[in-house]
Amino acid sequence: MSEQLLRVSLEGREISASPSDSIIQAILNSGQTLVKGVGCMGQGVCGSCRVMVRRAGRSEVSMELACETRVEDGMQVSFLDYGKHFAFSPRRPHVYRLEEMQDSWHTLHKIGEVFPEAANCRHCSGCDRACPKNLEVQRGVDLAVAGDILPAAEVFDQCVMCNLCTLACPEHIRPNHLGLFVRRMIASMTLRPADLVRRLQQIERGEMTVAVHGGSAAPAR
């Protein structure tokens, strides 16, 4: 018995797909060539394959990752190109030096100094709705602003830096970058993992071999 294929609308073009396909797999199996937005191809860790999805019979649109989301009959899919939408994103760069973060007494001040706009959160939940990983982004921002960086870092631990929360924020907070900042602060003030220290020592001594330009392995220098 042959498998019943599903109808999926991709950027306004209808394709047929297997029920077991993710959106990315359905595109490839339809014969189309992926030239961008490909990313990790199924691991859901890079955030490059961000898409808007509307399911049959529903009016709402959700933000999802094409590599993680299985196709459904009547599904409408549109890719989100962050580059094209960058005109709507904030221009303010957040500059900081992690080596200056040596004293936890100053973390609250540093967050306010580097991300002053974070205190202006409107609590509109736009960032939560935009997140394809369903993270409590707004809560993470609130925790960071309050100086509770450990629980704030936990909120953003699964962030894939897709930047959709940044595009959704009317206050131009860049929540994902704030989350990355608090995670980096914690790392800069915490003892390094022993396996990482050993690996860095191996690299420094030239004991670890690495592939050079896709060719044969050579000692790291």
Q: Largest alpha-carbon pair distance within the chain?
A: 67
- Distance, in Å, from the CA atom of 159 to the CA atom of 182, rounded to the nearest integer, reads 13
Looking at residue 89, its pLDDT comes to 53
Task: Give me the mean pLDDT over the 181-195 stretch.
Answer: 88
- Residue with structure tokens 């959704």? 168
Domain residue spans in the chain?
Answer: 6-79, 88-188
DSSP string, 15-51: EEE-TT-BHHHHHHHTTPPP-SS-TTSSS--S-TTEE
Nearest CA among 202, 174, 196 for reference residue 86: 174
Q: ∠ CA(112), CA(118), CA(124), 5° rounding?
A: 160
111-127 confidence digits (pLDDT tens): 999 999 999 999 999 99
Looking at residue 38, its pLDDT comes to 77
pLDDT bin (cut points 50, 70, 90) of residue 42 is confident
- Distance, in Å, from the CA atom of 118 to the CA atom of 140, rounded to the nearest integer, reads 11
Task: Give SS3 for 186.
Answer: helix
| Helices and strands of the chain, counted as H and E runs | 8, 7
Whether the predicted pLDDT of 214 surpasses 70: no
164-183 confidence digits (pLDDT tens): 999 899 998 999 999 999 99
- Distance, in Å, from the CA atom of 130 to the CA atom of 167, rounded to the nearest integer, reads 9
Whether the predicted pLDDT of 129 surpasses 80: yes
Share of the chain above pLDDT 90, in %: 56
Q: Which 8-state DSSP code applies to residue 4?
A: P
Whether the predicted pLDDT of 220 surpasses 50: no
How far separated are the first and last CA of the chain, in Å rounded? 58
Choosing among 3.10.20.30, 3.30.70.2190, 3.40.50.300, 3.90.870.10, the CATH entry for 6-79 is 3.10.20.30
CATH code for the structural domain at 88-188: 1.10.1060
Looking at residue 134, its pLDDT comes to 94
pLDDT bin (cut points 50, 70, 90) of residue 90 is low
Average pLDDT, the chain: 86
Count of other CB atoms within 10 angstroms of residue 206: 11
